Structure formats: C-alpha cells, structure tokens
Amino acid sequence: MRPTALLVEASPRFGRSQSRTAAEKVVGRLKERAPGLRLLRRDLAAEPPPLIDEAFTEAMYVPASRQDERQRQALAYSEAAIAELEQAGALIISTPMNNFTVPAVLKTWIDQVLRLERTFRSTPDGKVGLLADRPTYVIVASGGYITGERARQPDFLTPYLEAVLATLGIKTVQFFHLERLPRDQDLAVIIDEQVQSWLDCHLPSTKNASP
C-alpha cells in the first residue's frame, strides 16, 4: 500500500501565502523520504467546510446503523474529512494565525472531524482519541512574534491545536512558526532558508544518507 499524507491548508492568499509555500517544501521532503507518497489535499480556503448546524448536531448522536438518508447527508462532509485523516500516515496543517488563533475555516474543519464516538470517546478520565497517532507538521504564519523573548502577542493557536490533535489521538506533532517576515526583502529566499533549516532538523534529507 502506498504511503499517504494529508495536507490541510487554511490560508486565503493562495499564491502569496507564506504558510502554503512552506507546506509545499515539507511535502517535498516527505516525498523524498517516501518515494511514491500519495498526497491528499483539503483546501479549506478554496472549499470552506460547512458550519455545524442543527441537522449535524442531531445526526451525530445517532448510531451509523440507524441513520436515515437525511442524517447521513448531514454528516457527509464530516465522514469524508475523517476518512482522509484515517488514510493518512502523515498530516500537514498549513495555516495563518488570525487574531491570536486559528482561522474560521480551520476551526470549522476541526468541528467536522472532532466527533464524539467517531474520532474520540469521553471517559471518566477525560477524552480519549480514536485515531492512530502519526507524524504531524503544523506550519503557522503570523504577523508578529509569538515565540521566544521577542513575543509580544498571545498565542492561543499552538496550545489549541495541540489539545485538538491529542483529543483525536495525534500526539507526535511538530510546529514550525514563520514569524513577522520582513516585507521589504525577498520573502521566497527568507522562507526557503527558514524552512530548509527546520526540515534539516525535523525531517533530515535522505539524499546524503549512508547506504
């Protein structure tokens, strides 16, 4: 079976997106390390997920064997998005930071895939994820500094995504922050340098590896 990765993208900027550019380089390194890698794409900006509504909320509490056609339709997007997660041996999330946290489209996707008794179970000791762990890479572009001594703004995105992914069962997560990139310089060169440094640390190239 071919290895599979899922790329979830949230930036509305498409061709000028820093997070999308960095994500493509992460995908390239994964393909280098796993020839034949099949890539699934879920572009949340191009095709925004449906908001949770009354029909979804009612259908999610009905066992699959008892759902009627209307209930299955209410959960159709959710099932498709969860199926992509179940297929993926690696997950890449590419997103900007909006107002200190995730964009609305990414939050809506999370609401679609984080489903009680489908991707997590509630127990007396807390929520337990039902999905298998897998390497996950989160690329975050922010307009200001959110890490280290230069941080001057809150970061609710990183702990939130860590908690969401852990609830799904995904705990092997690496974050890559693109912070306050200068607008008067060649961003492509700067991003390439930062991404290559991060990749060499977290996803070393196999090209120069000993046989």
Annotate the chain with DSSP letters as a single string: ---EEEEEE--TTGGG-HHHHHHHHHHHHHHHHSTT-EEEEEETTTSPPPPP-HHHHHHTTS-GGG--HHHHHHTHHHHHHHHHHHH-SEEEEEEE-BTTB--HHHHHHHHHH--BTTTEEEETTEEEE-SPP--EEEEEEESS--SSTT--S---HHHHHHHHHHHHT---EEEEEEES--TTS-HHHHHHHHHHHHHHHHS--STT---
Instruction: Tell me the backbone φ, ψ of residue 121, rounded to 5 degrees.
Output: -125, 140
How far is 69 from 132, CA to CA, in rounded Å? Answer: 29
How far is 46 from 1, CA to CA, in rounded Å? Answer: 29
The fold of 4-202 is Rossmann fold (3.40.50)
Give CA 15 to chain center in angstroms. 19
| pLDDT (0 to 100) of residue 209 | 46
Structure tokens at 12: 């509305």
Report CA torsion sign: 174, 114, 84, 179. Answer: negative
| pLDDT (0 to 100) of residue 182 | 63
| pLDDT (0 to 100) of residue 171 | 97
The bridge status of strand 120-123 relative to strand 126-129 is antiparallel
Strand partners, 148: none
How far is 158 from 4, CA to CA, in rounded Å? Answer: 25
Angle, to 10 degrees, between the axis of helix 18-33 and the axis of helix 187-202?
A: 40
pLDDT by position in tens, the chain (length 211):
789 999 999 999 988 888 999 999 999 999 999 999 999 999 999 999 999 999 999 999 999 999 999 999 999 999 999 999 999 999 999 999 999 999 999 999 999 999 999 999 999 999 999 999 999 999 999 988 888 888 889 999 999 999 999 999 999 999 999 987 766 556 677 778 888 999 999 999 887 543 3
Other CB atoms within 10 A of residue 12 CB: 14
- Token pair 């890490």 is found at 147
| pLDDT (0 to 100) of residue 89 | 97
Spell out the domain ranges in the chain.
Answer: 4-202
